[in-house]
Amino acid sequence: MKIGVFVCHCGSNIEATVDTAAVAAAAREFPGVVFATDTMYTCSEPGQDEIVDAIKEHNLGGVVVASCTPRMHEQTFRRTVERAGLNKYLFEMANIREHVSWIGKDREANTNKSVDLVRMATEKLLRNRALHPKKFTINKRVLIIGGGVAGIQAALDCADGGLEVVMVEKTSTIGGKMAKLDKTFPTVDCSSCILGPRMVDVAQHPNITLYAYSEIEEIKGYVGNFEIKVKKKATYVDWKNCTGCGICMEKCPSKKATDTFNEEIGKTTAINIPFPQAIPKKAKIDPAFCTMLKKGKCGICAKVCPSGCIDYEMKDEFITEKVGAIVTATGFDLFDWTVYGEYGGGRYPDVITSLQYERMLSASGPTGGHIKRPSDGKEPKNVVFIQCVGSRDKSVGRPYCTGFCCMYTAKQAILTKDHLPQSQSYVFYMDIRATGKLYDEFTRRAMEEYDTNYIRGRVSMIYPKGDKLLVRGADTLMGTQVEVDADLVVLAVGAESSAGASELAEKLRISYDSYGFYMEGHPKLKPVETNTAGVYLAGACQGPKDIPSSVGQGSAAAAKVLGLFSKDQLESDPQVSIVDIKRCIGCGKCIQTCPFGAIKEIDFRGMVKADVIETICQGCGICTSTCPQGAVQLQHATDNQILSEVNALCQF
Amino acid sequence: MNTSLNYAYYPGCSSTGTSIEYDMSSRAVCAALDIKLNDVPDWSCCGSTPAHTVDHSLSSALSARNLNQVASIGMDSCITPCPSCLANLKTATHRMEDEAFRNKVNKLLDKPADTRVSTKSVLQILVEDYGIENIRKKVVRPLKGLVVGAYYGCILNRPAELMQFDDSEHPMAMDNIMEALGATVVPFPLKVECCGASFGIPRKDVVMRLSGKLLDTAHAIGAKALVTACPLCQMNLDMRQNQINHANGSHHNIPIFYFTQLLGLALGLTEKEMGMNKLCVSPRTLLDAMANEETIKEKAA
């Protein structure tokens, strides 16, 4: 094989600490190398053209590019050599940027290391074979996990694009966090008025199947052909016949059930529909509070239900769905602020979260839209908002900025004045981050038109004084201490990854950061892709996001799915394991170790042999190192190829 | 019952003067609970606030010397009633984890610092090593009818990483002990606020304001007494209570106990042993009321 080597300067990224011309000169002496040069930007158009021209001029059979990480440009250069008529697997990359020039300053040592890496790449390339992907048909249905605003947007866009959509939502209604909001910033329009119709669209769209009160149990398969096991949790109500009339709720005697939808402001009944606009508008029983399920006595809901839907014997049900792509839109949860002892650690009833306050502001909320102190039901006069609770605070392990609290706090301050014109709001803030369209204007309005007193500084202590709460903090602009007699304190609690995010990530085989937020394929260029083919992200599961950004991502993820499904067949990655049937002794060790269930036992002329299902194999190589016979070989990373690299490196 | 508790005991300078009743009651309570205290031989002042505001290595050298004295009697666990001493001893140990700093301190010492000795407060070992449930079992004279608030002061639990004891913003150790002794504990919202500390000398007005607020709050929540674990807190609230009343136009008459004094009473020790006569604001009425309650109960029985 005639090999060409291209050593990239990457501007000064590599050239500053690596003598690329010397690397190219050294490469010319390697076996097989007939052409070697250094280029300014190999990935640029002239850089790529140089490769194409060299392949034609020197009749090259393979190409090595020494530049950046293959994560960056392997695909780029594979397409380049393909353009010149070579098989794209007759290409190797040596990473002399991330592994060399960026991490060392010694030019001579760096140059030597780069030569070694290029030698390894050429030796491997000499043993590369042309590989050809296989085509397989795909299932053009999409699964959306999570029914918040991001998931709703993705579902509707996919469904309108003609795809069959399966939506799985953990709680008994879709709508997510947005459904709990009273108004949205910066327009102060009613949240449920914008979201409500979209939720109805989900329910009525002929292409959407909704599983509410359900969770993902298991995910098998691969892009184009996933098999999903959905757990439909027992609701104890037959949803086929439930009309959502609500008579059961009126009559239920167990009225102390946890009201999660209302953020535990108030209580609900053991059988309940979370809110009037719920989709689906169906009742479910909370078994922790149902007297019938706990003690076997009561049964009132069963007596009053006009449709006879109540079924105390109901069990969880499992359903299998087949889809070709998955959009994860599992959203976020609120930081548990009770770790802050200085805010009372949860001991004072009149210190509440911003989302609790939102429920209080909502006309359909537990107080009917009236602001009332939880302790005595009185209207507050002084309301203190504290920002950055569980945001930008390393001491509680949340160094990141949630990003939308500045905005909703300004909104809540405005709404407070609207509800209670005699009230005075105070906002303790660190910095005001209002970087969206019309956002800064909005926070100025809160200050200038609604007379909100913004105090730059942190609160050191909240303690009760009579029936008020004394809030003490610093005013860092004035350099003084401030004390405010507050009637109500609202904590702008930050966002964290939703409960169970990491468990779901394991099932999806996608990666997540140390806070549990899902990792996008590339922080700039692949914002809604993951590193697992066919799995996309939308909304706050990837990181805290406001409504416009979440919706934007929902649409972006839908566009990616529609793009993926624009083909009838996909190409499978040929970098998979293959069993050499002559060497296989049928011991089955590879079957046991394969984490993807990609190897099965077959009968070959009466003998037991292993066989790889190529579409399921992810190319991890575990079977290769397990096989005692060396019979399983991972294509493009065979034992011989790896050993040739080792030999190239350890020749002295 | 754990009878093997055995500590080196570092009383600190205040214990020989202004807080002598804290020392008396701490020793008596430990004896009553079979906790063996070994006096640190030839101990010296920890340097208190003045030393560390002038020079960290000199301040740490004073503490390191005292820790060496602890090691000299073969002990590696030292307790002290005073939070200020505790902070200094712990800070010295923490700072000496840095080799450069340790070398600086060692130059000031006759022999290199022994860094194995750990320090805790008397309160901490009572709660963590002896256990509140075990204290509860030892109560012979419950503090029935006593309505008390627990005031910890600003340094007993802070900084949290250094002190490693209780909740730094909402400590409960003394609240729980008082509850175990049968007292009625009212939650004291300013339990970790500063009393003004040593500002009593250069800026008395600061103490009048800060300690005044503590007394006002105690009164507002209906506490008939406060318990403390710090000589400086106790002094500001007790000895200066008259000055505070004078400065602020208030009329407080709130006895300020060391928690060990009330613990001792509940364990059956005498008022004299607890040094009750050392307090400036007389607890007489309060103690009589408690005794009355007991007699009434006995008669009823």
pLDDT tens sequence across A282-329: 999 999 999 999 999 999 999 999 999 999 999 999 999 999 999 999
Tell me which chain B residues have a C-beta less than 8 angstroms from the C-beta of A466.
220
pLDDT in tens, B94-136: 999 999 999 999 999 999 999 899 999 999 999 999 999 999 9
pLDDT score of B2: 47
What SS3 state is found at A271? strand
Q: What is the C-alpha to C-alpha distance for residues B134 and B89, in angstroms, rounded to an integer? A: 28
pLDDT score of B1: 46
pLDDT-derived band at B300 (thresholds 50, 70, 90) equals confident
Q: Does B245 touch chain A if contact means CB atoms closer than 8 Å?
A: no
pLDDT score of A205: 98
pLDDT score of A306: 95
Which residues 6+ apart lie within 8 Å of A387 measured at CB? A405, A406, A409, A427, A428, A429, A430, A492
- Are B220 and A347 inside 8 Å of each other by CB? no
Residue pairs between chains A and B whose CB atoms are closer than 8 Å: 19
Tell me which chain B residues have a C-beta less than 8 angstroms from the C-beta of A341.
167-170
- Nearest Cα residue in chain B from A348: B189
pLDDT score of B24: 97
List of domains in chain B: 6-121 (1.20.1050.140), 139-300 (3.40.50.11810)
Mutate to test the interface with B, among A463, A470, A485 (most CBs of B within 10 A): A463
Q: What is the C-alpha to C-alpha distance for residues A175 and A148, in angstroms, rounded to an integer? A: 5
Does residue B298 register a pLDDT over 80?
no
- The CATH homologous superfamily to which domain A141-233+316-331+499-564 belongs is FAD/NAD(P)-binding domain (3.50.50.60)
pLDDT in tens, B20-68: 999 999 999 999 999 999 999 999 999 998 899 999 999 999 999 999 9
- Could you tell me the CA-to-CA distances from A66 to A72, A101, A469, A648 in Å, in that order? 12, 12, 65, 16
Q: What is the C-alpha to C-alpha distance for residues A28 and A50, in angstroms, rounded to an integer? A: 17
Q: Does B190 touch chain A if contact means CB atoms closer than 8 Å?
A: yes
CB atoms within 10 A of CB A564: 19
- Nearest Cα residue in chain B from A466: B220
Tell me which chain B residues have a C-beta less than 8 angstroms from the C-beta of A463.
189-190
Greater confidence (B53 vs A428) lies with A428
Quick one: tokens of A24?
Answer: 């190219």
b/e sequence A156-192, b meaning 16+ C-beta within 10 Å: bbbbebebbbbbbbbbbbbbbbbbbbbbbbbeeeebb
Does residue B150 register a pLDDT over 70?
yes
Q: What is the C-alpha to C-alpha distance for residues A70 and A65, in angstroms, rounded to an integer? A: 10
Measure A342 CA to nearest chain B CA, in Å. 6
Mutate to test the interface with A, among B157, B166, B170, B191 (most CBs of A within 10 A): B170
Measure A343 CA to nearest chain B CA, in Å. 9
pLDDT in tens, A245-274: 999 999 999 999 999 999 999 899 999 999
Q: Is A606 exposed, middle or buried (0-12, 13-18, 19+ CB in 10 A)?
A: exposed
Q: What is the C-alpha to C-alpha distance for residues A399 and A390, in angstroms, rounded to an integer? A: 8
What's the average model confidence in pLDDT over A220-227?
91
Tell me which chain A residues have a C-beta less than 8 angstroms from the C-beta of B189.
463-465
Q: Does B268 touch chain A if contact means CB atoms closer than 8 Å?
A: no
Q: Which CATH number fits domain A577-635: 3.30.70.1400, 3.40.50.300, 3.40.50.2000, 3.30.70.20?
A: 3.30.70.20
Q: What is the C-alpha to C-alpha distance for residues A346 and B169, in angstroms, rounded to an integer? A: 12
Tell me which chain B residues have a C-beta less than 8 angstroms from the C-beta of A342.
169
- Could you tell me the CA-to-CA distances from A504 to A244, A329, A524, A541, A555 in Å, in that order? 31, 11, 24, 11, 22
Measure A464 CA to nearest chain B CA, in Å. 7
Q: Does B219 touch chain A if contact means CB atoms closer than 8 Å?
A: no
pLDDT-derived band at A221 (thresholds 50, 70, 90) equals confident
Rounded percentage of chain A residues whose pLDDT exceeds 90? 95
- Are B169 and A340 inside 8 Å of each other by CB? yes
Measure A345 CA to nearest chain B CA, in Å. 8
What are the start-end ranges of the H helices in A344-462? 354-361, 405-419, 439-448
What's the average model confidence in pLDDT over A411-433?
97
Does residue B140 register a pLDDT over 90?
yes
Tell me which chain A residues have a C-beta less than 8 angstroms from the C-beta of B188.
none
Tell me which chain B residues have a C-beta less than 8 angstroms from the C-beta of A340.
169
**How high does pLDDT run on average in chain A?**
96
pLDDT score of B291: 80
Of B167, B168, B190, the CB nearest to A463: B190
Q: What is the C-alpha to C-alpha distance for residues A6 and A67, in angstroms, rounded to an integer? A: 8
Of A341, A347, A465, the CB nearest to B168: A341
pLDDT in tens, A520-554: 999 999 999 998 899 999 999 999 999 999 999 99
- Nearest Cα residue in chain A from B214: A465
**Class of the CATH domain delimited by A3-126:** alpha beta
Residues facing B64 on adjacent strands: none
pLDDT score of A652: 64
- Are B189 and A465 inside 8 Å of each other by CB? yes
- Are A341 and B217 inside 8 Å of each other by CB? no
- Are B167 and A341 inside 8 Å of each other by CB? yes
Q: Does B222 touch chain A if contact means CB atoms closer than 8 Å?
A: no
Does residue A640 register a pLDDT over 80?
yes
Least confidently predicted of A28-32, A320-324, A611-615: A611-615
pLDDT in tens, A148-160: 999 999 999 999 9
Domains A333-496 and A577-635 share a fold: no
Of B167, B168, B189, the CB nearest to A463: B189
Of B169, B170, B189, the CB nearest to A464: B189
What's the average model confidence in pLDDT over A495-515?
96
Does residue A71 register a pLDDT over 50?
yes
- Are B169 and A347 inside 8 Å of each other by CB? no
Enumerate the domain spans of chain A: 3-126, 141-233+316-331+499-564, 247-304, 333-496, 577-635
**Class of the CATH domain delimited by A333-496:** alpha beta
Does residue B5 register a pLDDT over 80?
yes
- Are A342 and B169 inside 8 Å of each other by CB? yes
Using DSSP bridges, classify how beta strands A332-334 and A495-497 pair: parallel, antiparallel or unpaired: antiparallel
pLDDT score of A387: 97
Tell me which chain B residues have a C-beta less than 8 angstroms from the C-beta of A394.
none
- Nearest Cα residue in chain A from B190: A463
What's the average model confidence in pLDDT over B230-247?
97
Residues facing A8 on adjacent strands: A39
pLDDT in tens, A110-153: 999 999 999 999 999 999 999 999 899 999 999 999 999 999 99
Residue ranges of chain A whose CB lies within 8 Å of a chain B CB: 340-342, 345, 347, 461, 463-466
